[in-house]
């Protein structure tokens, strides 16, 4: 895809987080001259900070903060929300639902600022739970979100915010795009503290066992639940292509490489060169029994789908987390 660098001001919210930080870096590498990065966290808690970027610490639950973030923007990528892995979203449903304030106020601010395009990061958690009850799950198509019965809390907020994006186009002419991300992973993200997702958690557990000399690790559930995991580079490319397209309907952006949690751990152990005894915690948060992305529509609409193999992405993720865990705490934040 040919890059057009003279796009005016591009705003990325959630820029102190995992996907947002990578997106800011990608836009800067591609030559976007004016990028504003926004996050609620103090700057020294951002995962990546880039020189020459307009970095702002703002609480986007507030309308005035959203107006400041959107001022002068030609494009907005809204990735800001309160979220984490299954251990977080199953126990913080109200907090996840409150993220609706961010998208509500950002949409209003984008409209009022005359923004030309607005991207919203939705999630595979919008899909009906009844279609995800078996490990050998049928890949989820975009129309499987209705009749609606999404992940309680987080999934409902995402599905509602999708509808808001749609109606802001219909009522106000704001060009909105939204993608349903499926389990994005990679370096420069959360790997401990309760918000981490399965790929990072597995890396952390194996690395910690190596460092501590432990012989076993804990696995949430029975290890037979299935997921697909998408490497960050595929996520970034798909997001930018979708934003530049004329597709106003939701699209899956996710891998269709289905694995069990046990197989994910097999991959991490192979990278580490160590095997561990597995303790299965059947009372831990597990989420749906199976989930995988159907990429038929994105192939049809964009002529592309994620292709990076899980083993290749996990190798890079593992190496980054290992370096973080092995180095002194004061040096762990990545400033580029």
Catalytic residues, by residue number, are: 154
Residue 37 host element (H or E):
strand 35-39
* 168 CB burial (10 A radius; 0-12, 13-18, 19+): buried
Q: Which residues of 228-242 are buried (b: 16+ CB within 10 A; e: fewer)?
A: bbbbbbbbbbbbbbb
* Upper half-sphere CA count for residue 38 (Cβ side, 13 Å): 26
Structure tokens at 139: 């890949």
Largest CA distance in the chain: 60
Name the phi and psi angles at 168, rounded to 5: -70, -30
How do beta strands 258-260 and 226-228 pair? antiparallel
**Token pair 């979220």 in the structure block, residue:** 83
CA nearest to 302, candidates 231, 252, 227? 252
**How far is Cα of residue 131 from the mean position of the Cα atoms in its chain?**
22
Residue 170 host element (H or E):
helix 154-172
Structure tokens at 182: 């499926």
Q: Sign of the C-alpha dihedral, residues 321, 261, 263, 280?
A: positive
CA distance 8 to 54: 13
């Amino acid at each position: 895809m040919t890059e057009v660098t003279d796009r005016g001001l591009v705003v990325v919210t959630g820029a102190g987080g995992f996907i947002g930080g990578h997106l800011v870096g990608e836009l800067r590498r591609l030559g976007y001259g004016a990028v504003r990065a926004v996050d609620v966290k103090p700057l020294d808690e951002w995962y990546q900070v880039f020189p020459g970027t307009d970095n702002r610490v703002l609480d986007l639950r507030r309308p005035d903060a959203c107006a400041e973030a959107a001022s002068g923007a030609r494009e907005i990528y809204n990735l800001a929300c309160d979220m984490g892995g299954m251990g977080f979203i199953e126990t913080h449903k109200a907090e996840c639902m409150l993220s609706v304030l961010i998208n509500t106020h950002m949409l209003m601010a984008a409209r009022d600022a005359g923004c030309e395009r607005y991207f919203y990061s939705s999630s595979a958690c919008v899909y009906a739970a009844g279609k995800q009850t078996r490990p050998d799950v049928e890949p989820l198509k975009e129309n499987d979100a209705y009749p609606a019965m999404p992940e309680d809390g987080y999934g409902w907020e995402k599905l509602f915010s999708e509808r808001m994006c749609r109606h802001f186009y219909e009522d106000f002419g704001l060009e909105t795009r939204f993608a349903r991300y499926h389990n994005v992973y990679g370096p420069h993200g959360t790997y401990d503290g309760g918000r981490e997702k399965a790929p990072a958690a597995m890396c952390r557990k194996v690395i910690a066992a190596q460092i501590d000399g432990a012989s076993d690790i804990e696995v949430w559930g029975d290890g037979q639940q299935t997921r697909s995991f998408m490497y960050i580079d595929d996520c970034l490319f798909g997001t930018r292509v979708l934003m530049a397209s004329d597709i106003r309907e939701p699209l899956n952006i996710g891998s269709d490489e289905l694995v069990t949690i046990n197989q994910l751990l097999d991959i991490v152990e192979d990278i580490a060169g160590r095997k561990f005894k597995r303790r299965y915690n059947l009372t831990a948060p597990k989420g749906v029994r199976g989930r995988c992305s159907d990429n038929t529509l994105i192939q049809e609409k964009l002529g592309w789908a994620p292709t990076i193999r899980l083993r290749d992405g996990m190798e890079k993720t593992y190496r980054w987390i290992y370096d973080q865990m092995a180095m002194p705490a004061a040096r762990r934040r990545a400033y580029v």
